[in-house]
Amino acid sequence: MDRSALTVHWSSKLCVGIPEVDREHQRFLTLVTDLVAFIVEGKAKTAIERQMRLVLADATSHFEHEERLFLEFGYPEATRHAGLHAQITKRLLRAMDEFTATDLNSTWVDKALNVRQMLVNHFLQEDIKYRGYL
């Protein structure tokens, strides 16, 4: 499969207008796109697990950074938004646990695509809310 078919292309509608956060979002999308591609391409399970750990570590780091910015600027939705980050992190951990407990199969493409869509939706529906505030 052509990797470009799996790629979410960065656009201004995904921008929050904070260069360092936008770079983090772009890097995160790249990591998740690579995860989907690794699964579709049938890479070794160890490579996929390593990529999943990178996604999780990057998400954790990014969420912590956003939450520090929220506190610094007194973002009124900080607590609610941090709760959403916690939910996403739980879903990522659950996906990783499910993956490590099973053999690679076609449902993993769907799971990885769902993870990617969950993150894009978070950018578009939640992160965009603080664009004008911060």
CATH for 96 = 1.20.120.50
Query: Is 78 among the domain residues?
Result: yes
Instruction: Yes or no: say if 99 and 108 are a contact pair by the CB < 8 Å rule.
Output: yes
In a domain, 34, yes or no: yes
* Residue found by looking up tokens 């049938």 in the block: 42
* Alpha helices by DSSP H, the chain: 19-40, 45-73, 78-101, 107-125
> What's the domain count of the chain?
1
Q: Name the residue range of residue 122's domain.
A: 17-130
Residue 103 located in a structural domain: yes
The answer as to whether 31 is a domain residue is yes
Cα–Cα distance, 120 to 114 (Å, whole number): 10
Instruction: Quote the pLDDT of residue 95.
Output: 85
Residue 1 lies in a domain: no
Domain-embedded: residue 5:
no
Q: What per-residue confidence (pLDDT) applies to 133?
A: 74
- The crossing angle, in degrees rounded to 10, of helices 107-125 and 78-101 is 170
**Contact predicate 133/74, CB 8 Å:** no
Give the mean pLDDT per block of 10 residues along the chain (134 residues): 61 86 91 88 90 92 94 93 94 85 74 80 84 74
